[in-house]
Amino acid sequence: MEETKKKITIGHLYPDLLNLYGDRGNIACMMQRCLWRGIGAETIEFNTGDAIDFSKLDIVLLGGGSDREQAIVCKNLLEIQKDFKDYVEDHGVVIAVCGGYQLLGKYYKTDEGMIEGLHLVDMYTEQGEGRLIDNIVLKSSLTDMPVVGFENHGGRTYIGDNEPFGEVLYGHGNDGTSGYEGVVYKNVIGTYLHGPLLPKNPEVCDWLIRRALERKYGEAELAPLDDSQEKEANQYIYRRFVKE
């Protein structure tokens, strides 16, 4: 199949409430890296109360928000939990950032009460004392380049036996003590890295696009792009914070 005939559809869930950390930048990055390669791409925004048909989506973005906004969104998501779970188990591609990452699990226990999660991944989050705020650098099995970003979260996430997104080379990570950050489950990435994540980490973006194309078409050859500026920015952050 010619690459120009391929197309992916990105579902941006609840940007009216979960767009605290520049998540539209992640959308823009995925769209542009597809279009540069001649791959058709469109984004559908689903705001509070909108019906979501996961069968029409190739990548789902679940962004970050405050605890209050997470609680509101979760009430909506729990109504479609089975459809979302079926999508994930069928290797649907998901990128969940910060608050969206916390919602993937069983629950998020806060000082104000319990926010029930979506039970998409066997993990949970509990609020800790103080916030974990810093630049962060990871070594990830998904990429050759380091993964860089910024973290700012009060929750401590415990992923059990699931695969982490990466090993923390600098920063706090999931809970400040385990030495790991994020989670990978099938074609789902959950992470606290924001700012947004994907423009600084083109290989992570391409991992998502490749998995979506493989699921939809059975093959995915991504033409190389000139990522010299992205690599330079990535290496600047890496060298600044990681002492070799």
| Catalytic residue list | 98, 194
What single letter denotes the amino acid at residue 232?
E
**Do 22 and 194 meet the contact criterion of CB atoms below 8 Å apart?**
yes
Distance CA 49, CA 81 (A): 14
Whole-angstrom Cα Rg for the chain: 17
Pairing state between β 183-185 and 188-191:
antiparallel
Instruction: State how far the Cα of 156 lies from the Cα of 116, in Å rounded to an integer.
Output: 15
Q: How far apart are CA 119 and CA 126, in angstroms?
A: 15
Q: What is the DSSP string of 157-191?
A: EE-TTSBPSEEEEES-TTTSSSSEE-EEETTEEEE
Residues 6+ apart with CB under 8 A from 87: 54, 55, 57, 60, 94
